[in-house]
Every structure is written in C-alpha cells, then in structure tokens.
Amino acid sequence: MIKVKTLMLSSLVGLVIAGCGGSSNAPIGGTLTGLAGGSTLTLLNNNANPLTLGANGFFTFSLYLPSGSGYNVTVNSQPIGQTCSVTNGTGTVSSNGAAVTNVAVNCVANLPNNNIVFGNLTGLPAGKQVVLTNAQDTLTLTVNGAFAFPTAVPIGGSYLVSLKSQSPGLNCTTANVSGTIPATGFITQVVVSC
C-alpha cells in the first residue's frame, strides 16, 4: 500500500511540475500581408525554426519561447519578384509568457530593373511631323498624344531626348528631356509642344 501511495504522489508531483513548466512558454507570431498568389517565403526566428508561408494572414512559429527570452524574426528566403520586410520582429517574451502577435511581414513587388522614356506631344498640326531621338532610338511622330521610346533604360542610366527635325513652319519646343532613371523607375515625362 505504501508503494502505491508513493507512486501516486510521485505522479502528482510530476504533473504539477510539468504544468508549471509549460505555462510560461509563448508563441511567436504575427501577420503577413502583400504576398502574391502562388508565392512563398520562409521566415526564421532567432536564425532557426524555419516557417514557410504561402498565403497572407496570421502565422505562428512552431517553437514557443520561455518568458524572458528574446526573439528575432527575419526573412530567410524572399518570394520571386517580391521583397518582404519585417516590422516589430525583435523583442523579449514577457514575464507572464503572453503570446507575441504583433510581428508584421509586408511584401511588395520589386521595382523594374529598367524603364521606358516616355512623353506627350501637343499642338502638332495635321499633316506635320516631328522626329525625336534618344540614344539609338528614333521616333517619328505625326499625331498628338503620348509616345514612348522602344528601348528601356536601366535604373541609374541616363537619357537625353533631342528634337532631331520638324516639318517646315513648325517651332516646337521640348521640356524634361534629360535625366537619370530614378530608383522608383518612373521619370517626369518628356514634353513636346508645337
């Protein structure tokens, strides 16, 4: 009978210890936004516990952390064509082991490596034309409206649009004809006025 009581007491103490030990561990998670359909990215917490995500929404790492321990959520592999960044990715688990739910991961489309040089022509009379050049491209314009040179210019590359020729009797002017393709990929449009 003493052996049975001792065994029961040992089991009860074990359950109490196990219960106390697990209550202070906290899940680490947050929300993913902006991920393109069909894409995946992989997150790490403290350079471990990889978590691959394929849809926007709430996520939680599989390993919980004890109170007082630090966490550091980073992107391990980016989705193709996008760049994802982490906000609120570092911190310390609270003393009461409360869940961490405010990690934010946001994905955006990568900027193009190059962009076109474009513009707008106004005031051109019917039957007249202007000829523009930019590097190796030549454009002959016979109608008013938007135009674009066919060869894209890399980000950081320069462009210089010139009015090569115009029909007799015209006195066309240009504006915004030179510059560098900015990091955003979008230039101020070239303006041709006749």
CB atoms within 10 A of CB 151: 13
pLDDT in tens, the chain (194 residues): 444 444 344 444 443 434 444 457 999 999 999 999 999 999 999 999 999 999 999 999 999 999 999 999 999 988 887 889 999 999 999 999 899 999 999 998 876 666 888 899 999 999 999 999 998 899 999 999 888 888 888 888 899 999 999 999 999 999 999 998 887 666 778 999 99
At residue 50, the pLDDT reads: 95
Same domain, yes or no, for 17 and 68? yes
How far apart are the C-alpha atoms of 28 and 63, rounded to whole Å? 8
At residue 80, the pLDDT reads: 81
Same domain, yes or no, for 105 and 118? no
Same domain, yes or no, for 105 and 161? no
Which residue carries 């403290």 as its tokens?
46
Same domain, yes or no, for 7 and 102? yes
> What is the extent of the structural domain holding 20?
2-109
At residue 77, the pLDDT reads: 86
At residue 113, the pLDDT reads: 66
Same domain, yes or no, for 169 and 125? yes
Sign of CA dihedral 11, 15, 17, 22: positive
- DSSP codes joined into one string, 126-180: TT--EEEEETTEEEEE-SSEEEE-SS-EETT-EEEEEEEEE-TT---EEES-EEE
Same domain, yes or no, for 95 and 184? no
Quick one: which H or E segment has residue 122? strand 118-122
Same domain, yes or no, for 102 and 154? no
Same domain, yes or no, for 141 and 67? no
